[in-house]
A and B are shown apart, each in its own frame.
Chain A
Amino acid sequence: MRAFHALQRALRTRRHRRINRDQADRIAATHPPGTDHPGLAALLEAARAPATREELAGEQEMVAAFVAHRKNAARSARRHRTARIRAALVPATAGLALLILAGTAAAARTGNLPQEAQQHAHRLFSALGVPAPRTGTPAPPGPSRPGPRPSTSPTLDVTVLGWCDAWNATPGRTLSAGDRRKLSDAAGGEEDIEKYCRDLHRSASAAPSPTATQEPSTTPVAPSTSPTVSPRPSSGSPSAPPTGAAPATPTPTATQGSYP
């Protein structure tokens, strides 16, 4: 019985000496673990001892790595800033250029440019596939251009030629009412439009201006030719010679003989 009590006492003491959770928290919070566990206290003090020289040996190296990284970071930050500015500037410039180009093209198409610029624009944009104005409104005949231009003017009026083309394609259809009125004003009457346009085309082809050859002429240039100019004799045509269809028919050259 005495032995049992002794064992109980021993167990109680042992349990009392065991570290519980709160004690563990206290130990962790740098409180000394107390005299109950001198071995543990010594161990933890050793583990928490001040830094040794060996442990601090790498300072120079690490500070050098820090400095080098900061330098690199600053350099790359500068590079990024430049790249950002460039990234913003390029689309803005491109957009502006596109806007100007599109505006000019639109103005050229509707014929709102000054005369000289209009011709240049047509030369430029026809190469890009923008058609010359056909139904657009030209610059109204203001004070700088007194009255309708004489048809014999050496400088070719591209706008009026455009109207003529539209008129010849489908008379009175494609042309807007305003343009039609202007064209008939210029010709001196709606019935004179055809003759006016013919004359205009003739003067255009005679003029040395390069735009003259560029204009697609649907009307015969030389008035001396027959009204229906067929450059190639079609096989079903009754007017074709019945025998030996010579490729070079002796028709008078209608358009300076440019076709083979």
Chain B
Amino acid sequence: MPDEELTTALRAAQQGDAAGFATLWRSLHPNVLRYLRVLAGDHAEDAASETWLHVIRDLHRFEGTAGEFRGWLFRIARHRGIDEKRRVSRTREAAAPPTGAAPDAAVQAAEDASTAWALSMIAALPVDQAEAVMLRVVAGLDVATTADILGKKPGAVRIATMRGLRRLATHPQIRTRQGV
């Protein structure tokens, strides 16, 4: 969705318009959820809900463009994802660690499965590379915003993105799976 439309929806939502908020959610939630799948695995859904509840609570205080809103949203998502992972690992210490692939991937339709497969591949990267690839490539954030969210220097973000993409490009499973 172009930023102008997103800004309109953002302003409407800030005025309390439910339709504006719905537009915002529809256009941004999928990428938030995908980023959280990479970051928090099975807890992505919970973390995404927490993220949006946080947004709802603080939306009236937000000042900025749609691009800045995107950055704000993913920063909240990152914190909620890390929180959720920590909380669950505390309460379920004995449980088996979550596998890279989402468990419900098998029951999803073919196109969903390819997305799930792609996310599981990215999730297998070192976490800083995985986050950089998700925020830069999937969420479409610029280097400065990504660096701000990850608490890194822009140069470090560029390198992490490059290394992540390189590693993915040379992954045997990815090289053989052309034209998914």
Chain A residues in contact with chain B, CB under 8 A? 18-21, 23-25, 27-28, 30, 33, 37-40, 42-52, 54-56, 58-59, 62-63, 65-67, 69-70, 73-74
A51's partner among B21, B26, B52, B57 (CB-CB below 8 A) is B26
The reply to whether the CB of B30 lies closer than 8 angstroms to some CB of chain A is yes
Residue of A nearest to B146 (CB): A28
The reply to whether the CB of B85 lies closer than 8 angstroms to some CB of chain A is no
The reply to whether the CB of B91 lies closer than 8 angstroms to some CB of chain A is no
CB pair A40 B165 closer than 8 Å: yes
Chain B residues in contact with chain A, CB under 8 A? 13, 16, 18, 21-22, 25-26, 29-30, 33-34, 45, 49, 52-53, 56-57, 60, 108-109, 111-112, 114-115, 117-119, 121-122, 134, 136-138, 140, 143, 158-159, 161-162, 165-166, 168-169, 171, 174-180
Closest chain-B Cβ to A13's Cβ sits at a distance in Å of 14
Q: Is the interface of A mostly helix, strand, loop or mixed?
A: helix
A-B contact pairs, 24 of them (CB 8 A): A19-B169, A20-B162, A24-B162, A24-B165, A28-B136, A30-B137, A38-B178, A40-B169, A44-B137, A46-B118, A47-B118, A47-B134, A47-B137, A48-B137, A48-B138, A49-B111, A51-B30, A55-B30, A56-B26, A62-B56, A63-B21, A65-B52, A66-B21, A70-B18
**Lowest 6 A-B CB distances belong to which pairs?**
A24-B162, A51-B30, A46-B118, A28-B136, A39-B174, A47-B118
Closest chain-B Cβ to A249's Cβ sits at a distance in Å of 86
